[in-house]
Amino acid sequence: MARYDEGSRSIEGWGQTRLVIRGALVLATVCYSLVAPIATRCAVIAALPQFLPVAQVPKQRDSQPKEDDTARALLDRVGKPDQAVVETFKKAGMQDVKPHTLTSEERKAVEAALAALPALNKRVLERHLHNLAFVDGIPGEGTGLTSPSKKTGLSDITLRASVIDESLTTFLTNKERRVYKQDASGMTITVAGTGTNALTYVLLHESTHVVDISCGITTTPGGPFVQSIWTDYSTLAPSLAVITPTTYFRGADHLPMAKATSLYDALAQTPFVSLYATASRQEDLAELVAWHEIYTQGGGDLTIELQDPGGKTIRQWHPLTFPKVRERFTEVDQLLSSQPGCASQS
C-alpha cells in the first residue's frame, strides 16, 4: 500500500508505485497496493440529484471510553519517518523533506483525529500500524506516503505536517484543481468540505486503506464494494467504463475548465463520491468510508462549486446527495458495525 497519496498512481500488490510529482513521473519500490485515479458512471439524465435535500443525519454511534485509550496508544506510534521513506520523497524531487517534530498542540490535534476514526479502523491500526510520522517539505498539493514497514504485515504512514493546520476546503480545493487547466472561460472550481478538518479526513482515508488491505474488502470477488463497479484494481465494469470521463486522476492530461459542468453532471449519475474515488477500487472505498463518517458522525457536507471570473457561483453539486452514493452508505454501515474479527487478520 505504498503511495504518494494525492496525485499518485500505483500497481496493485507488491511491486512498484508510480509517483507523479508536479507532472514528473518517478518510480519507487514499495509494496501492498493503492492509488490510481478516475472513473464515472453516468447517463444522459437531467442533473437533478445535486439539488436534493440532505437527508436527516443518522444518529451517531455510541462512544466507547476504551476507544480514547486506543487513540492514545496509537499516538505513541508517532515517530521519525523511516530513512527509506525520506529517500523516496527525495527521489521524487522533494529534496527539502525533513522530519517534523510535533508540538504539544499538534499532538493533541493528531490524537483527536485518531479518536474520530471508526472503531474498526482503530482496531486494525492497533495491529497493523508500525509508525505514524510527519514531515516538512512536501508540496501543498501532496499528502504523504503510506508504505510497508520493515516489519512484515505492518505499515508506516508519513504525512505532510502542514495538513495538521489545514482546513478541509483548502485541502480538497487544491486537490481538485489539479484536474483542470485554465482556459478562456476564466471559471474556477472550489470544493467546500464541512464537519471536520483536513487531518481527520486524511486519517479516515488512509486508515481505511489499511483496513482494506488487512480485511481484503476490495479484493473479495463479488464483494459489495466492487460488484458491478470494478473488475480489477483500476478497471471499471463495462457499463461504467463506456461513460466515464477520463481525468488527471486516471492519468489523463489536465482538462479545460469549460468541461467542468459536463464532468460533474456525469459524476452525479455514478456511485462515486468524488472524482478521486474513480481512481481505483481502493481509493473508491477509502473516499466512501471517509465521507460516510464525516457526514454521519460529524454532520458534514461536501459541495463542489463552479464559479465565474468574478467569483459568482454558476453551479453547485452535492455528492453526498447523489442517489447511488447514498445507496452505498448502507454497505458502509454494515462494514463498520459487523466486522469485529476483521482486525485480527494478519
Count how many domains the chain has: 1
Flag whether 170 is in a domain: yes
Flag whether 74 is in a domain: no
Inform me whether the pLDDT recorded for 281 exceeds 90.
Answer: yes
Q: What is the mean pLDDT of residues 187-200?
A: 98
The predicted model scores a pTM of 0.81
Count of beta carbons in the 10 Å neighbourhood of residue 308: 12
Inform me whether the pLDDT recorded for 125 exceeds 70.
Answer: yes
Flag whether 325 is in a domain: yes
- Its domain, for residue 297, covers 3-62+166-344
pLDDT tens digits for range 2-61: 444 443 333 233 333 333 333 332 323 233 333 333 333 333 223 333 333 444 445 455
Flag whether 312 is in a domain: yes
pLDDT tens digits for range 286-305: 999 999 999 999 999 999 99
Flag whether 173 is in a domain: yes
Distance CA 272, CA 275 (A): 7
For residue 307, the model assigns a pLDDT of: 97
For residue 44, the model assigns a pLDDT of: 28
pLDDT tens digits for range 167-176: 999 999 999 9
Q: How confident is the model at residue 229 (pLDDT cuts 50, 70, 90)?
A: very high
For residue 341, the model assigns a pLDDT of: 52
Flag whether 86 is in a domain: no
For residue 243, the model assigns a pLDDT of: 77
Distance CA 31, CA 10 (A): 10
Phi-psi category of residue 13: left, alpha or beta, with phi > 0 → left and psi -120 to 50 → alpha: left
Flag whether 186 is in a domain: yes
Inform me whether the pLDDT recorded for 119 exceeds 80.
Answer: yes
Flag whether 98 is in a domain: no
pLDDT tens digits for range 87-98: 888 888 888 899
Distance CA 50, CA 8 (A): 29
Inform me whether the pLDDT recorded for 331 exceeds 80.
Answer: yes
pLDDT tens digits for range 56-69: 445 455 544 455 89
Hey, what's the cell of 182?
Answer: 485554465
For residue 108, the model assigns a pLDDT of: 97
